[in-house]
Structure 1
Amino acid sequence: MNVAMNAQTNWKKNTALFLGSQTFSMFGSLLVQYAILWHITLATESGVMMTISIICGFLPTFILSPFAGVWADRYDRKLLIALSDAGIAAATLVLILLFAAGYDALWLLFAISAIRAAGAGVQTPAVGALLPQLVPEDRLTAVNGIFGSLQSFMTLVAPIVSASLLAWASIEIIFMIDVVTASAGIAILLGLVRVPGRARDKSGKDETNGYLGELRAGLGYIRNHPFLKQYLSFFALAFLLMAPAAYLTPLQVARTFGGEYWKLTAIEIVYSAGMMLGGALIAAWGGFRNRTHTIALACAALGLSTVGLGCIVFSFWAYLTVMGVAGIASPLLYTPAQVLLQEKVDDVYLGRVFGVFNMITSSMMPIGMFLFGPAADIVPIERLLVISGALFSLLTLWPAGSRALREAGRPVQE
């Protein structure tokens, strides 16, 4: 009881330590992610190999996320996060030893990508469900916005650091940095973060029905809530339409503006910088009183900026400006969406709902690439961006016109 009361009293300290632990871990993970991507690209120059890499990076997350949501509702969420980080670090350490012994076959990189994706699939629902245990409800938007800015900053810095390290060091050095940062994150999380207790299902059914029973209960909870059904359907379609902007813009830049490395790096940096600004904006502003209105505004901004990426091809600097606007709009969509779940879903089911949400967000863009990727070799990418952006803009009508989503977006006190 005293631990729980102290944790609630020191929520700012606990939250700062938790975000710090996740930032340490995320930095090393992103270094490895970029190092593996570039190693495969330069070693093979093969679209097939890149496709295999993408599949290894999302399929384990897609498969595990619903079960990971059950674990996040059943077990200690802090421990789940630490164990998933430890498992990834252990697998990375084994890879370092294999590479040092001369075993550097490409399939080992595919295997470690799959293991890392599995760890992320376990960790992500637990992180989303743990934050409401640490943070008062009226501060969730600000904290999620700050967390989003930290993630964007890491996304901005990691490719620069990873490229610099690869220029003078072996890939094993980057793997070792990930092991060290993961260890630091785990030490902070387990040693310093104090998490209050949470609600349990007093009926005890969650503990006796087994994983499939609990998964069915979570899916039944979603089916019985019109808000959640529409929310998840909306984001499934949204992430499907995001695929061209997310995956095809580097190819578009290479074809339209030239394939210099600095241009490909510039679009990543500008987008990440925009996300940092957007995260700071939503943290300071908080969005409209009705969170659904903020989501609708972000949809319009993202849709129009995607159309702009397809139309503004006369100047690379103008193109970068539009990319920055897309970056700013992204946290205006993701942050209120995250907070809506944290506020409206019963804590008993929060992990499972986040598991389903993570399954959708991790899979729909790669699925979209099966549609838009081959099309990019038949029609201009600019046309695909205009079409997907226009359809994304029309998505604004869904949250604006849905009574269930509007009701869910209202402040809790109303």
Structure 2
Amino acid sequence: MEKNHWFKTYIYIWIGQFVSLISSSAVNFAVIIWLSLEFKSAEVLAVAAIAALLPQAIFGPFAGVYIDRWDKKKVMIYADAFIATCTLLMTFALRDGQVQLNLMYLLMACRSIGSAFHQPALQAVAPLIVPQDQLLRVSGVNQILHSVSAIAGPALGALAIAALPIHQVLYLDIIGAAFAIVSLMFISIPYIKPESLATIRQVWRDLKLGFLAIHQNKGLNRMFLYSILAMMGVLPVAIMFPLMTIGHFGGDKLEMSIIEVVWGVGMLVGGSALSAFKVSFRKILLINVMHIVLGMTFVLSGILPPSSFILFVVLTGFGGASMSIFNAVFMTIIQEEIAADMLGRVFSLYFSFAIIPSLIGLLFAGNIADHIGVANAFIIAGLLCIVLGVVSFMTPSLMKLGLKEQVVMDEEN
């Protein structure tokens, strides 16, 4: 398969996704602000978040089967179009000023189903276009785009919600989706045609093969397991960053904004480092080290005195960088270890598994903070990450991941 012109192809993907990411980030932040001001209810925010995540977790594994069978370019286009249509319907639901929360939740759930198809398809495209030795750099650039959107999106969302009614703010997401769709029109993505029809029996068989692709690769399934366990600590902490800023360090809206921006800047630095430098050692080492570094930032943040907000800012930046590197390397290892015709299923399964801890975090983060204190929650989550990083180094099957590729690289050098 010809991959000499992969960079030109990916430029179109990056441009379209960058605009879409920023617009989506802005709208998501604006909706959170609007819901907070309109209802002043943590329950409303929690239900909205669950509506936006749970369908993706439920439908994700089945979506992955069809992603592997269908033309991935068309999957991304149709998914973007479906998400934009749901957003357009939300604008009509909010236009009269009389909010129907159940309808809002339903449309957010439908958007989540669209995301269940879009995100795994996007990740599964890279190995079809990009040479294997460039996959990590592509993942690094992807992290840069996510980081910039995480920085610029909330700022744009705050400006938009201050100047426009919520139903008009939603148009930003529609414009971003349209831009992403148009950018995909200019590229060609290889299509691996399936050998069998998508009967119900075949779909279950394909889903089982996706599970087996993870299960039979002992190192990969350990990497999945440790990552999911880490998310059980990381995601509740991510939810509690504002509480930590206000409750422990005595901050306000400005300090909360600083922490959010610094985390995004850290992610930007981490992604930039991966895209700028060629990693000459085994990627699994980076995964393990980032577990430990991220854990240390949480532990140190938890033991800081209330007067050390500046140190908390610095640690947050290091945490964002380590999270960015972890995500990029994690995705690259999956792309290298799994056959291209099964990546849709595997990424869908991972995204579904990763969402479950986030739902647990949404349900229990407030109670955890109330009973043991936010600072102690940071320390416990950090210790969990550090232990998982150490255990990873002591897991032989995990440490063998990428060993063959490293031997080949050493021979070429």
Kept in 2: contact 1:282–1:331 (CA 8 A): no
TM-score normalised by structure 2 residue count: 0.93
1:371, distance to aligned residue in structure 2 (A): 4.2
1:188-235 Cα offsets, whole Å, 9 max, x none, are 11x21211344x565x47778432221122223322221232122111
| Matched residue SS, 1:41 | helix
Q: 1:211 aligns with which of 199, 203, 206?
A: 203
Give the aligned residue type for 2:188. Answer: R
Whole-Å separation in 2 of the counterparts to 1:152 and 1:207: 40
Whole-Å separation in 2 of the counterparts to 1:93 and 1:230: 42
Which residue of the partner structure matches residue 225 of structure 1? 217
Q: Are 1:278 and 2:273 an aligned pair?
A: no
RMSD over aligned CA atoms reads 1.9
1:119-147 Cα offsets, whole Å, 9 max, x none, are 11111111111111121110000011011
Q: 2:5 aligns with which of 7, 10, 18?
A: 10
- Contiguous gaps of at least 5 residues in structure 1: none
Give the aligned residue type for 1:307. Answer: V
1:154-191 Cα offsets, whole Å, 9 max, x none, are 110010011011111111222112111111110111x2
1:77-103 Cα offsets, whole Å, 9 max, x none, are 111111111001111112222323444
Q: 1:363 aligns with which of 353, 356, 360?
A: 356
Kept in 1: contact 2:34–2:161 (CA 8 A): no
Which residue of the partner structure matches residue 304 of structure 1? 296
Give the aligned residue type for 1:409. Answer: G
Which residue of the partner structure matches residue 186 of structure 1? 181
TM-score normalised by structure 1 residue count: 0.93
Task: Give the 3 Å change call, closer, same or farther, for CA 341–206 of structure 1 in structure 2.
Answer: farther
Whole-Å separation in 2 of the counterparts to 1:300 and 1:287: 19
Which residue of the partner structure matches residue 80 of structure 2? 85
Whole-Å separation in 1 of the counterparts to 2:36 and 2:334: 37
Kept in 1: contact 2:220–2:401 (CA 8 A): no
Whole-Å separation in 1 of the counterparts to 2:207 and 2:16: 29
| Matched residue SS, 1:9 | coil
Kept in 2: contact 1:291–1:410 (CA 8 A): no
Task: Give the 3 Å change call, closer, same or farther, for CA 255–225 of structure 1 in structure 2.
Answer: same
Task: Give the 3 Å change call, closer, same or farther, for CA 208–253 of structure 1 in structure 2.
Answer: closer
Aligned length: 406
Give the aligned residue type for 1:218. Answer: G
Which residue of the partner structure matches residue 325 of structure 1? 318
Whole-Å separation in 1 of the counterparts to 2:99 and 2:358: 30
Kept in 1: contact 2:6–2:129 (CA 8 A): yes
| Matched residue SS, 1:314 | coil
Kept in 2: contact 1:206–1:214 (CA 8 A): no
1:228-275 Cα offsets, whole Å, 9 max, x none, are 321221111011111232111111211123352111111110000010
Whole-Å separation in 2 of the counterparts to 1:159 and 1:304: 27
